[in-house]
Amino acid sequence: MKLINRYHKWVEWSEEDRVYIGKCPDLITGIHGTDEQEVYRELLEVLEEVIAHFESEGRSLPPPAVRPMHEVG
C-alpha cells in the first residue's frame, strides 16, 4: 500500500467561499479551486510532495487519525 493511501482525503464544495476545497487534515490544511477533479489531482500531488519532504528529512509521518464519517440511517 502506498503511504498516501493510508490518509483520508476528500474534496467538498464550500458555499461560503464558492470553491471546492481539498482536504487531508492529517497532513495539510487544504487546497482550493473551481474544478472538483483538478482540486483532487492537485491534492494528491501536494500530499506526495509532503510525504517526500518528510522522508527526505528522515522524519516520521503522523499516524492517520481522520476517518470518513458514515451516515447512520
Residue 63 lies in a domain: no
pTM of the complete model beyond 0.85: yes
The pLDDT score that the predictor gives to residue 70 is 62
In-domain check, residue 19: yes
Position 66 in a domain: no
- Residue-level pLDDT at 73: 53
Show the domain range for 24. Answer: 3-56
Q: Considering the domain boundaries, does residue 38 fall inside one?
A: yes
| Residue numbers of the chain with a pLDDT score lower than 70 | 70-73
Please say whether the dihedral angle defined by the alpha carbons of residues 47, 52, 54 and 55, taken in this order, is positive or negative: positive
Q: In total, how many domains does the chain have?
A: 1
Residue 71, pLDDT score: 58
The CATH number of whichever domain residue 34 belongs to comes to: 3.30.160
pLDDT at 1: 79
